Chains A and B, each alone.
Chain A
Amino acid sequence: MSLKDLPRIGSSEEKISFLSVAASLLYTAGLFLVFFIMERFNLDYCSNILDLKWVTLAGFTVYVNVPSRYKLPAFSLIFMVCIYTVFTVVPATILFLILLSFFLIIQSQLKWGLKLLIVALMMLFLLAVRANVLFMPRVALVVPFALAIVMFRGILLMYEVKYNPPSANSWFHLGYFFIFPNLAFLFFPIVDNKFFVKSFLNRPYREIYKRGLFYLLFGMFQITVYKVIHDHFLVQHTEHTIWSLLRFTFVNYFMILKITGILTIAFGFLVIFGFNLPPLFGNFFLAPSFTDYWRRANIYWREFVIKIVYYPLYFRLKKKIPQPIFVCVIIAFTFSYIFHSYQLFCINGYYTFRANDLFYWLTLGLIIGINATLEHQRISTSGKKTAPSRTKDFFLRPLKIAAVFFITSTLWFFWGSDSIGDFAFAYSDLLHPDPVSLVKLAACVASFILLYNIGAFISEALGKTFGEKIIDDVSIAIMLVGFSTLAYTVDGISTGNPLSSVVRPVILNAAEKERADIGYYESLISSGPGNWEVSLKTGRRFDALDKISDRTGDLLVQEFRPGTSGTINGYTIKINPLGLRDLDYTVKKPENTYRIALIGGSYEMGAGISNDEVFEALTEERLNKRSAARKVEIWNYAVGGYTAIQHLEVVKRKVLQSHPDELILFAHNNELKRFAGFFSRYITLGTDLKYEFLKRIKTLSGVRQNMGSAEIRERLNPYMADVTFWAYIEIVNTCKANGIKPVWVFLQTTNDAFSEQDLNAQSALASKAGFRVFVLKDVYKGYPYEKISLDRNNPHPNALGHRLISEKFYNLLSDSTNTLLQ
């Protein structure tokens, strides 16, 4: 298709009339409402599209009003405006030039082999910048965006150029690289070039717009369902019964709605700009076979793999090997794993091998390979199928759907598990069936069979085009009005109201937080962050930490490298010559100086903020302003991920050298639970536990290196209070032997619910060990979580949070009744 084929100005469709102006206003109003809802429902954590809101609205208004032949150039122009709005001139121009280069090379008359070589070299260059092999800060800023755009589309366009020389107008190919929603959704559907060209304005725009609007609303609906399920139904599997396990497995599977919702919204933005693309997903929850599941789940991904890997392989091998379908499917799924890893690297800039990933894809490939081979044989051997028996179908089809759902949800659980051992540990519950679970399960299956058949009956009665009928003016209007009304009344919805799940951002539950803490720790030791699709926005915050820290290979695990500095997500982290994130102190204590050694974890280290914003630095500065006669030095020994055992190591190996007068150890909510997570890493990594006491705990708990971390954590949990108490006693004894006053301070985290029981248990341990115990109370009182934390999924305090902590910490230190600093 070329632009000439599109309707021109003056054609009956494009005459400017009152109706056409009114329609364009309605189109823009619809999109405005979509943005309004997204904003009010706090959907900005899913993408950055709200940052492009005004450009998109203005661009869309222009787009709907220009004649069809100018719509593609307008589409590319919106991309240009977006990049110059988002970035400053230099990076925006670099991004533009990178994409233009790809476009010009692929469009050029050069031989295909030469084009391939140049494109491959350009990709290697971008990947090298992404991996920080080439240090080019301004280029690096835009490379994730460039890679998100060309990583798959470059491959598809090269394929088209080789086999089906494109006849389409150049604007199509430029537009193919200039899909502006991709800037906001780095995780974007793999749009096939052929469909991109063929689908453009292939139906009257009114119809296409309706589809686009439907997808935008439907995407939001999916995310809304995800939020409700997340907040009200995602109960952790802790009971160790089959029912508990399966309930968690099934509910956890619905977390996929967040991903499908994001992709559907991204897709919807493309559709409302005239690209009438085929659907992105089928209803894969109701797939009756594995091949059918694969056909419905992320259809664009599947078609990409089939086109680039499966077909070329199959046609090469079909006459040379037995069972070519099975072999080719397995290879195609292996490539699917490779492409996922490649996508992960392009977007996040790192790659970590996870056995779960590889085995997930291979298992899925194995199942689908067998299913596809059988299906192919069935087509070959039986031409005409016998009409299905109604009675048989009543039971068989829903049972098949239930079986596929069970296996795919189990695989999803497996994929998201921290390790294969964790998965095996959780699923070992299946070996201990209990009657209550089996009865509940049977009731569930029976209910599903009944509900499925009722649904099938209604669907049959409404006719097979029911799905298409859904996308009509009335249903879209109902969704739009319903969502808008809810969005408008957001402010009046209290936290206790069930609707609050719909409108407020997702807050991680305890288990997810625990995993995030482990993830943080894992980042420090350069291992995986978990499932990339749910951590897209997290990014690689800690790669710079690798440059300013060293692994110790012992109980300390990691320590800062003296005299280094780095920038992480815009904040600077500077390490002094003594290896502390602090000012350059002299080891010899100056006259009239009171020296405090502060030990703690990421809160005290100041994760996510610059050195001078950390509460320790603020407090020290304020104390010294108060009295010039007596100087106070607070040496910050904190490092992210440090807990009781590391604190002990820090005291013994580092603190004593600085001869402080006082030692302040910070602890937080759920410290013991978090501690079990960190301790489990010692076991997993095979770290020498050094102390007899710790070795005895290892023996008593029965943990082994080859166990999954969930099992290790669970086995260690009962011993964590004892280990903490032991470490505290060791710290106190070391301090007292060296004339240091040991102080223990409890600081509440920004997001955990405060538990008096937890505080009492922890402070009792500290007090019994010999610490003076203090509690920083009501630190963040009056400030909502969003105001004081780094972001919604990163609970570390931001600069304001640290100022609030500093206020309380200063009061604690300066209050003479506490007899600190004395």
Chain B
Amino acid sequence: MTKDQIKKMVKEYIAEHVFSGAVPSDFTDDTLMISTRIVNSIVVMHMINHFEELLKVEVEAHEVNVDNLDSVNLVTLFFFNKVNAGK
């Protein structure tokens, strides 16, 4: 799976579950989501469960942090590395 494919999935997820379909115009792939409280821990947990199932990867508790999950780009990179690490 390519990085672009993962990013598309991440953006779709965010659009659907965080913004109910109406993504703000100023939201970019680098917008900080956890630090700025756009997403909460329940959404983060749900997102992780969602991508764990979808991408057949496993996330560990200590990996849930702003370094890995704070923006669309970081989430993409995190899961992309996970998918590739599994190969």
A and B co-occur in one complex? yes
Are the C-beta atoms of B67 and A384 separated by less than 8 Å? Answer: no
Interface residue A822 (Cβ < 8 Å from any Cβ of B): no
Identify 10 new A-B residue pairs, CB closer than 8 A, beyond the known A372-B42, A384-B16: A159-B62, A164-B62, A164-B65, A164-B67, A194-B65, A195-B66, A295-B40, A306-B41, A315-B61, A387-B20
Interface residue B59 (Cβ < 8 Å from any Cβ of A): yes
- Report B8-42 residues with CB < 8 Å from chain A CB: 16-17, 20-21, 35, 37, 40-42
- Chain B residues with a Cβ closer than 8 Å to the other chain, count: 22
Q: Shortest beta-carbon distance, B39 to chain A, in Å?
A: 11
| Cα–Cα distance between A384 and B35 once the two chains are bound (Å) | 24
Given contacts A194-B66, A315-B59, A315-B61, contact A379 B41 (CB under 8 A): no
Interface residue A37 (Cβ < 8 Å from any Cβ of B): no
Q: CB-defined interface of A350-378 with B at 8 Å, one 1/0 digit per residue?
A: 00000000000000000000001001100
Given contacts A194-B66, A312-B61, A315-B59, contact A383 B42 (CB under 8 A): no
Specify which chain B residues have a CB less than 8 angstroms from the CB of A690 in the assembled complex: none
Q: CB < 8 Å: which of A198, A278, A318, A375 contacts B49?
A: A318
Are the C-beta atoms of B62 and A314 separated by less than 8 Å? Answer: no
| Cα–Cα distance between A282 and B37 once the two chains are bound (Å) | 10
Q: CB < 8 Å: which of A291, A311, A379 contacts B61?
A: A311
Are the C-beta atoms of A194 and B67 separated by less than 8 Å? Answer: yes
Interface residue A391 (Cβ < 8 Å from any Cβ of B): no
Are the C-beta atoms of A376 and B42 separated by less than 8 Å? Answer: yes
Question: 10 tightest CB-CB pairs across the interface, nearest first?
Answer: A163-B62, A311-B61, A385-B20, A315-B61, A312-B61, A383-B16, A384-B21, A379-B46, A375-B42, A311-B64
Q: Shortest beta-carbon distance, A277 to chain B, in Å?
A: 10
| Cα–Cα distance between A307 and B20 once the two chains are bound (Å) | 27
Are the C-beta atoms of B45 and A291 separated by less than 8 Å? Answer: no
- Report B30-78 residues with CB < 8 Å from chain A CB: 35, 37, 40-43, 45-46, 49, 59-67
Interface residue A817 (Cβ < 8 Å from any Cβ of B): no
Specify which chain B residues have a CB less than 8 angstroms from the CB of A387 in the assembled complex: 20
Q: CB-defined interface of A268-284 with B at 8 Å, one 1/0 digit per residue?
A: 00000000001000100
Question: Could you give 17 example pairs across A and B, Cβ below 8 Å?
Answer: A164-B65, A164-B67, A198-B66, A307-B65, A311-B61, A311-B64, A314-B45, A315-B60, A315-B61, A318-B49, A376-B45, A379-B42, A379-B43, A379-B46, A380-B46, A385-B20, A385-B21
Specify which chain A residues have a CB less than 8 angstroms from the CB of B49 in the assembled complex: 318
Interface residue A325 (Cβ < 8 Å from any Cβ of B): yes
Are the C-beta atoms of A383 and B17 separated by less than 8 Å? Answer: yes
Specify which chain B residues have a CB less than 8 angstroms from the CB of A310 in the assembled complex: 41
Residues of B within 8 A of A (CB): 16-17, 20-21, 35, 37, 40-43, 45-46, 49, 59-67
Q: Shortest beta-carbon distance, A578 to chain B, in Å?
A: 63
Specify which chain B residues have a CB less than 8 angstroms from the CB of A278 in the assembled complex: 35
Chain A CB within 10 Å — which of B41, B43, B65 has the most? B41
- Chain A residues with a Cβ closer than 8 Å to the other chain, count: 30
Specify which chain B residues have a CB less than 8 angstroms from the CB of A315 in the assembled complex: 59-61
Specify which chain B residues have a CB less than 8 angstroms from the CB of A194 in the assembled complex: 65-67
Residues of A within 8 A of B (CB): 159, 162-164, 194-195, 198, 278, 282, 291, 295, 306-307, 310-312, 314-316, 318, 325, 372, 375-376, 379-380, 383-385, 387
Q: Shortest beta-carbon distance, A291 to chain B, in Å?
A: 7
Specify which chain B residues have a CB less than 8 angstroms from the CB of A307 in the assembled complex: 65
Q: CB < 8 Å: which of A282, A325, A384 contacts B45?
A: A325
Name A282's closest neighbour in chain B (CB-CB): B37
Are the C-beta atoms of A291 and B42 separated by less than 8 Å? Answer: yes
Specify which chain A residues have a CB less than 8 angstroms from the CB of B45 in the assembled complex: 314, 325, 376
Chain B CB within 10 Å — which of A162, A315, A316 has the most? A315
Name A324's closest neighbour in chain B (CB-CB): B45
| Cα–Cα distance between A54 and B46 once the two chains are bound (Å) | 50
Name A372's closest neighbour in chain B (CB-CB): B42
Specify which chain A residues have a CB less than 8 angstroms from the CB of B65 in the assembled complex: 164, 194, 307
Name B60's closest neighbour in chain A (CB-CB): A315
Are the C-beta atoms of B43 and A384 separated by less than 8 Å? Answer: no
| Cα–Cα distance between A159 and B63 once the two chains are bound (Å) | 12
| Cα–Cα distance between A379 and B39 once the two chains are bound (Å) | 12
Q: Shortest beta-carbon distance, A698 to chain B, in Å?
A: 52
Specify which chain B residues have a CB less than 8 angstroms from the CB of A291 in the assembled complex: 40, 42
Specify which chain A residues have a CB less than 8 angstroms from the CB of B16 in the assembled complex: 383-384
Specify which chain A residues have a CB less than 8 angstroms from the CB of B42 in the assembled complex: 291, 325, 372, 375-376, 379
Q: Shortest beta-carbon distance, A101 to chain B, in Å?
A: 26
| Cα–Cα distance between A387 and B22 once the two chains are bound (Å) | 10
| Cα–Cα distance between A387 and B21 once the two chains are bound (Å) | 10
Specify which chain B residues have a CB less than 8 angstroms from the CB of A372 in the assembled complex: 42
| Cα–Cα distance between A278 and B32 once the two chains are bound (Å) | 12
Q: Shortest beta-carbon distance, B10 to chain A, in Å?
A: 15
| Cα–Cα distance between A195 and B34 once the two chains are bound (Å) | 12
Specify which chain B residues have a CB less than 8 angstroms from the CB of A385 in the assembled complex: 20-21
Q: CB < 8 Å: which of B20, B60, B63, B66 contacts A384?
A: B20
Q: CB < 8 Å: which of A163, A164, A282, A376 contacts B46?
A: A376
Q: Shortest beta-carbon distance, B2 to chain A, in Å?
A: 24
| Cα–Cα distance between A593 and B41 once the two chains are bound (Å) | 78
| Cα–Cα distance between A307 and B63 once the two chains are bound (Å) | 10
Q: Shortest beta-carbon distance, B26 to chain A, in Å?
A: 10
| Cα–Cα distance between A311 and B45 once the two chains are bound (Å) | 9
| Cα–Cα distance between A92 and B22 once the two chains are bound (Å) | 57
| Cα–Cα distance between A383 and B16 once the two chains are bound (Å) | 6
| Cα–Cα distance between A312 and B59 once the two chains are bound (Å) | 11
Name B40's closest neighbour in chain A (CB-CB): A295
Name B32's closest neighbour in chain A (CB-CB): A278
Are the C-beta atoms of B20 and A314 separated by less than 8 Å? Answer: no
Q: Shortest beta-carbon distance, B79 to chain A, in Å?
A: 16
Q: Shortest beta-carbon distance, A595 to chain B, in Å?
A: 71
Q: Shortest beta-carbon distance, A666 to chain B, in Å?
A: 58
Specify which chain B residues have a CB less than 8 angstroms from the CB of A314 in the assembled complex: 45, 61
| Cα–Cα distance between A375 and B18 once the two chains are bound (Å) | 12
| Cα–Cα distance between A375 and B40 once the two chains are bound (Å) | 11
Q: Shortest beta-carbon distance, B48 to chain A, in Å?
A: 9
Specify which chain B residues have a CB less than 8 angstroms from the CB of A383 in the assembled complex: 16-17
Specify which chain A residues have a CB less than 8 angstroms from the CB of B40 in the assembled complex: 291, 295
Q: CB < 8 Å: which of A198, A295, A375 contacts B37?
A: A295
Specify which chain A residues have a CB less than 8 angstroms from the CB of B43 in the assembled complex: 379
| Cα–Cα distance between A356 and B3 once the two chains are bound (Å) | 52
Name B62's closest neighbour in chain A (CB-CB): A163
Specify which chain B residues have a CB less than 8 angstroms from the CB of A312 in the assembled complex: 61-62
| Cα–Cα distance between A151 and B17 once the two chains are bound (Å) | 38
Q: Shortest beta-carbon distance, A423 to chain B, in Å?
A: 30
Name B16's closest neighbour in chain A (CB-CB): A383
| Cα–Cα distance between A162 and B42 once the two chains are bound (Å) | 25
Q: Shortest beta-carbon distance, B81 to chain A, in Å?
A: 15
Q: Shortest beta-carbon distance, B60 to chain A, in Å?
A: 6
Specify which chain A residues have a CB less than 8 angstroms from the CB of B46 in the assembled complex: 376, 379-380
Q: Shortest beta-carbon distance, B47 to chain A, in Å?
A: 9
Specify which chain A residues have a CB less than 8 angstroms from the CB of B35 in the assembled complex: 278
